[in-house]
Amino acid sequence: MKSAKRLLLPALGLILLLALVLALRPAPLPVSAVTAERGDFVESIWEEGRTRLRDTYTLSAPIGGYLLRVEPEPGDALAPGEVVFRLEPSPAPALDARSLGQARETLSAAEARLQNATAQLATAEADARLALSEFERVSSMHQRGLVSTAELERARATRDRQEAARRAAASSVDVARHERQSARLVLDIASGQRPVGEQTAVEVTAPIEGVVLRVHRCCEGAVQAGEPILDVGSLDDLEVQVDLLSHQAVRVSEGMEVALTGWGGDQALAARVRRVEPAGFTRISALGVEEQRVPIVIDFDDPEQAWAWLGVGYRVEAEFFLWRGEDVLQVPSSALFRLEDRWQVFVVEEGRARLRSVEPGRSSGLRTQILNGLDVGDRVITHPDDQLEAGARVRVDASAE
């Protein structure tokens, strides 16, 4: 009996010590894990882009003048050679009181000169008729031998001189009439208004078959030579421009397959890279970081009916397919981390986190190809934190798998 009591006390102490050790032992860390598996793998680049036209025509005023109201509106279809706007000569500025008085006096003087020239023309015409009649009389007498040849020549000279004077007087009348008309026009436009019905308009026509993209100036008024009036283009030449980071652009080549999403349609649009621009540019990101970007031009592969709702300047999301593979071993990219200049992952084995070195391959952003270090079915911790150490006890959160 005494021997049993002596054995019971150490056993109770051992049980209590074991319970204390179990109570003080750290609880398993909750982690999320996925299974390494094989499947289709696509390495791609995602970036936003904008639609644009390959050729845009800006129609400008060829000369300075007065623009009549532009009738076409954005979206209106245009045929080649169709008149899109008209220009008239600019109206003369209004005259001040002194200039207006001078213009009236100039008109009065012009009318007086016209009256004087008209009177002189009447005198010259009478003298010419008299000289012609005298020449005909002397010519008849010369034929009968009643007057000498010298007398005939003097009559002919008088006739020609009077005829020349008549023509000069007629020209003076024409000059005086034009001067009066000019003086009258100055008074007619003294208010600064355009004369009605006498303007010769310059017509500007559409260079191609397309639509009006933008109207810079719709209302009538004075314009300067070279001032843009409207933009014209053909939506059949719609393309997409995507500005990639320079280190991404070097991996893109002409003819590469592209999928366009995020444009509002239900289906992705098939497209293809047409050109990688040879020159880049600097752009400041939203975080204030300088980025070197390279424009990539993309053409649609789908028929026009598939993207007929798109216009100029629409936003799209472009996915460039750099590489495709089948039966590729892959894990989430968030499972990989660098340790001692090598890529590592934590693998769950018998309830503990085991550190394992891996050799990653291509990456698609969310998933990474694994070339060596893992097998199909290995459970990989997806988001290891700083508290997780090799050999630590872990508990996989079933809801995160």
Q: Structure tokens of 316? A: 């799209």
Estimate to the nearest angstrom the gap between the alpha carbon of 25 and the chain centroid.
67
**Residue 81: inside a domain, yes or no?**
yes
Contacts of 80 (CB under 8 A, 6+ apart): 205, 206, 207, 208, 209
Same structural domain for residues 80 and 215?
yes
Of the residues 326, 354, 375, the one at which a domain ends: 326
Q: Which residues pair with 318 in a beta bridge?
A: 47, 260
Same structural domain for residues 182 and 103?
yes
**pLDDT over 80 at 18, yes or no:** no
Same structural domain for residues 387 and 376?
yes
Same structural domain for residues 108 and 67?
no
Note the pLDDT tens digit of each residue in 225-242.
Answer: 999 999 999 999 999 999
If we measure between CA atoms, which residue out of 388, 361, 51 comes closest to residue 233? 51
Q: Name the band, by pLDDT with cuts 50, 70 and 90, for residue 92.
A: low
Contacts of 247 (CB under 8 A, 6+ apart): none
Q: Name the band, by pLDDT with cuts 50, 70 and 90, for residue 372.
A: very high
Angle separating helix axes 149-188 and 97-143, nearest 10 degrees: 160
**Residue 177: inside a domain, yes or no?**
yes
**226: phi then psi, degrees, rounded to nearest 5:** 90, -5
Q: Structure tokens of 273? A: 């890279």
**Residue 194: inside a domain, yes or no?**
no
Q: What Å distances lie between residue 122 and 114, 139, 172, 293, 297, CA to CA?
A: 12, 26, 12, 86, 81
**Could you tell me the end-to-end alpha-carbon distance of the chain, in angstroms, rounded to an integer?**
57
Rounded Cα–Cα distance for residues 17 and 6 (Å): 17
Same structural domain for residues 285 and 260?
yes
Same structural domain for residues 320 and 172?
no
**pLDDT over 70 at 70, yes or no:** yes
**Against a cut of 0.75, is the pTM above it?**
no
Rounded Cα–Cα distance for residues 401 and 392 (Å): 19
**pLDDT over 60 at 172, yes or no:** yes
Same structural domain for residues 147 and 284?
no
Same structural domain for residues 367 and 297?
no
**Residue 130: inside a domain, yes or no?**
yes
Looking at residue 193, its pLDDT comes to 55
Estimate to the nearest angstrom the gap between the alpha carbon of 67 and the chain centroid.
24
Looking at residue 391, its pLDDT comes to 82
**351: phi then psi, degrees, rounded to nearest 5:** 80, 10
**Residue 217: inside a domain, yes or no?**
yes
**pLDDT over 90 at 269, yes or no:** yes
Rounded Cα–Cα distance for residues 53 and 298 (Å): 11
Same structural domain for residues 299 and 335?
no
**Residue 110: inside a domain, yes or no?**
yes
Helices (H) and strands (E) in the chain, counts: 4, 24
Same structural domain for residues 77 and 141?
no
Q: Structure tokens of 89? A: 């000569």
Kindly report the three-state secondary structure assignment for every residue of 306-328.
HHCCCCCCCEEEEEEEEEEEEEE
Which alpha helices (H) appear in 51-95, and where do they start and end? Answer: none
Q: What is the CATH number of the domain that holds 379?
A: 2.40.420.20
Rounded Cα–Cα distance for residues 46 and 41 (Å): 15
DSSP annotation of 166 reads H
**Residue 376: inside a domain, yes or no?**
yes
Looking at residue 216, its pLDDT comes to 93
**pLDDT over 90 at 214, yes or no:** yes
Of the residues 188, 222, 254, the one at which a domain ends: 188
> How many domains does the chain divide into?
4
Rounded Cα–Cα distance for residues 348 and 400 (Å): 14
Same structural domain for residues 342 and 369?
yes
Same structural domain for residues 86 and 215?
yes
**Residue 339: inside a domain, yes or no?**
yes
- Structural domain span for residue 383: 27-41+327-400
Q: Structure tokens of 358? A: 């891996």
Whether 51 contacts 314, CB under 8 Å: yes
Q: What is the CATH number of the domain that holds 294?
A: 2.40.30.170
Burial class (CB in 10 A: 0-12, 13-18, 19+), 110: buried
Of the residues 326, 359, 375, the one at which a domain ends: 326
Q: Which residues pair with 270 in a beta bridge?
A: 259
Looking at residue 114, its pLDDT comes to 85
- Compute the C-alpha angle 197/202/204, nearest 5°: 135
